[in-house]
Amino acid sequence: MAEGGVLLDQDQLSCAICLDLLKDPVTTACGHSYCMGCIKGCWDQDDHTGVYSCPQCRQTFTPRPVLRKNTMLAEVVEKLKTGLQAAPPAHCYAGPGDMACDFCTGRKLKAVKSCLVCLASYCESHLQPHYESPALKKHNLVKATGNLQDKICSHHDKLLEVYCRTDQQCICLLCVMDEHRGHDTVSAAAERTEKQKQLGATQSKLQQRIQEREKKLQDLRQAVQSLKRSAQAAVEDSERIFTELIRSIERRRSEVKELIRDQEKAEVSRAEGLLERLEQEIAELRRRDAELEQFSHKEDHIQFLQSCQSLCAPPGPEDFPSITVSPHVSFEAVRKSVSELKERLEDVWKEELVKISQAGTHPPPGDQDKAEASVLPSLKLILVGMSRVGKSAAGNTILGRDEFESETSPSSLTLTSEGREEDMF
């Protein structure tokens, strides 16, 4: 509340123009107070109008009022300045989590030091006797701490100054003469030095362990990066191999398609020629049939008998070649052969995929590349057959029987036309 009152007075005694404490305060007729210099500066700017106003309430004055120092208000401002200078800054007061001075009354200040002899904490002001009194100068001062009671012997209420190595605990001087009599005891400082050496040795081991683990970590990261690069290279190689495989299959498909179309074209062309001959023969037979029909109605018996022998002659022998076209059976062997190629391709891929999987799990040194590249030759061996299926339109053999049987296990394809057979495989 005291601090709040000071702040309230400071606000009331501040100039509304410069927002600072009043300096040579003057009070206008309307009751507002300003610094002498501030209000003069404002009114000097209004000299050309001859009308002067209060900066706060805007009350006007004519003529310009004569300003006189308010001595009572000036004394109040001086007292306020003196009180503000004597008061400690707000950051010097102890807040939540801060160690408070044990000797401050009212609002406590922050403690800056703790005395291990007095077992108390002091602010800067109350700490001065420890710097000035000869008896207090010998006391052991440490940074302000809140666990002073942990440094006191629970049996004798004395400062813990000795370490008992026998019982591994801190004790006071009276404990040395009492229950710890005959024990291996040293001063706390001496034991601290020994423990510090042990701590240093432990710290060295930890640092060595850290270095070893960091090296393993680095090696593992490098191994992971190497694995990622190898995997990426394998993916790229696989993509390239499969691209080649797809292109090869596309070429073989085009070749088989072209072969089938050429054979279709040749057979259709031959059949169309036979159709044309048949149509001509049918037309000739119909013409003769019409002549015979017309001749059969003649009334002249002599003329009928004379011409009957030549007109009644039977047609010539059937020398037209026989033809058999089976549209469903002719290319069944092609479909069967291509299906067998597909099945064998899938079987090879399954077999090689198992090899790749096993090689990828535990790759022997130098065998990983072989495992990755082992699929393409096997696939190419099968696809060779697709490029050699049947005969070309010119009659050139694309794949001989012996070679194809050794590579593709073919089926025999027979096209029946005009009583002859053509082996495509």
CA dihedral 47, 48, 49, 51 (to 10 degrees): 10
Joined tokens for residue 17: 């123009």
Q: Taking the model in full, what pTM does it have?
A: 0.41
Matching residue, tokens 């008992």: 164
Q: CA-CA distance, 197 to 184, in Å (whole number)?
A: 19
Residue 216 has a pLDDT of 96
Q: Which of 241, 245, 229 is nearest to 356 (CA)?
A: 241
**CB-based contacts of 181, cutoff 8 Å, min separation 6:** none
- Whether 412 contacts 423, CB under 8 Å: yes
Biggest CA–CA distance in the chain, Å, is 182
In sequence order, the β-bridge partners of residue 415 are 422
Q: What is the pLDDT along the chain (425 residues), one digit of tens a residue?
A: 344 444 445 678 889 888 888 889 999 989 899 999 999 989 988 888 888 999 999 899 888 888 899 989 898 888 887 765 555 655 578 778 788 898 888 888 888 898 888 888 999 888 989 988 888 988 888 888 877 778 888 888 888 889 999 999 999 989 999 889 899 999 988 999 999 999 999 999 999 999 999 999 999 999 999 999 999 999 999 999 999 989 998 998 999 899 889 988 988 888 898 899 999 989 998 998 888 888 888 788 787 787 777 777 766 655 555 656 655 556 777 888 888 888 888 888 888 888 877 775 555 545 545 544 555 555 555 555 444 444 433 333 333 333 333 333 333 333 333 333 334 33
Spell out the long-range contacts of 149-156 with Cβ–Cβ below 8 A and sequence spacing 24 or more.
Answer: 149/119, 151/116, 151/119, 152/119
Its CATH architecture, for the domain 2-87, is 2-Layer Sandwich (3.30)
- Whether 425 contacts 413, CB under 8 Å: yes
CA dist list (Å): 301 to 39, 58, 308, 309, 407? 162, 155, 10, 13, 80
- Whether 125 contacts 92, CB under 8 Å: no
Q: Which of 64, 77, 143 is nearest to 110 (CA)?
A: 143
Q: CA-CA distance, 141 to 125, in Å (whole number)?
A: 15
Enumerate the CATH 3.30.40.10 domain ranges in the chain, comma separated: 2-87
